[in-house]
Structure 1
């Protein structure tokens, strides 16, 4: 005889699933942080390099090669490191248990005297545990939004210091950012390649008229393959430029939001919403 399925009351009273986090040793955190920072910093740097006056224009091959070498590959590397560092956190019998592949840490909750929040949220927001003896544990915990984890440690894990860490400016900044929801691939597809179709069509049409005398000039001269290849090159180039352009406003918005979390934590959520709106207006309104 099969047991009855859990009722709504049972589900409400059941403990939440263990939060998914990343458990970084210092060296791996440095590696992931450098890869992440390089992948993001390269985007506005490339836009600046394109806009600076130069004697020779940047051709598509070195342009895309730079994007791949300094943004795509480092970003992929940071993602792979994060995947390898995935762990779970549970509390059991007064013990804080952190587990990942090949590693299991059991820390008495009473031994945790302080939560050391990472001031620089790289490769993401996180914190380290400091014992009553003043020793910082070697491994640090990172999560997209560590606030729910900290609250769980304070409420159910008996780690009193975790509650105070929620008010740290970095945690305030991170929580306000997470409240807006995570971007999915469909959002990115609509924001970049789909939106880029409009300026691509304008530039491609101008190119066809200038180089071949009409919109279908290249098609009549060289065939459908060459025609679609040229369009794809224009589309990929414009899409990449949109990413570079958006990265500038994103960097400024994150800087303003982080500053607000330090200066006026109570207004961090409102500043975050205003920054997100400004990013959208400047991006969609600023792309010609």
Structure 2
């Protein structure tokens, strides 16, 4: 297969896996990379597929082909090709025992957990009351540079979100789900109009019934004023008004402060099976 054929095959196997597991095996950034043959490398063995985007490895086996050793042999093939010195990260987008065994057998260590937390919109939301001097409004094209500035500062230590640049922002905004009304900004309210951007909440609607707290960013210079909770609450009201029945979000398992806010202040909960795991093979 050529790269584009590989990409279509990978998408097909990923869709079969998602239908069986109720968890998507490829994240958004990986799916975007599949559109450009220059952005990924791929390996295919029947209904076992693998791809490499930068140093991020994804390996997916279609449900009907599992338990046959296909995944193990494909991983060995690509590791042999990459060489023993290749440093790799690999996500299991659910804490699969098979992924855990495969990781252990090939020198990958468990280094990171990402929780999915969920909230039913049937739960009552607190009222939205911005403090004096702060206004909540929707995004406009004139806000792009400010969103990138706050995003870079808020996620300076984040390995994925912090790298968003103008091209990636435009790519995300080109997706069919993007709605500028769902990108909510907390800005300084001044006598002359809006001042600087303090925080933002980018929501996403996956379907009629499912919404997401996609990105919440707070300018580090504005932290400590409750703006993260404020913009999150604004986004939850927006998603509830759209009629979704459930909202999900992703949060690092060791981010205790954020988890407390999501759980204790906003009514989100986490189930053990809603855990994504990153494995790493170091040099």
TM range (shorter): under 0.3
| Higher relative contact order, structure no. (Cα contacts within 8 Å, ≥ 6 residues apart) | 2
Using structure 2 for the length normalisation, give the TM-score. 0.26
TM-score, normalising length from structure 1? Answer: 0.26
Structure with the largest fraction of strand: 2
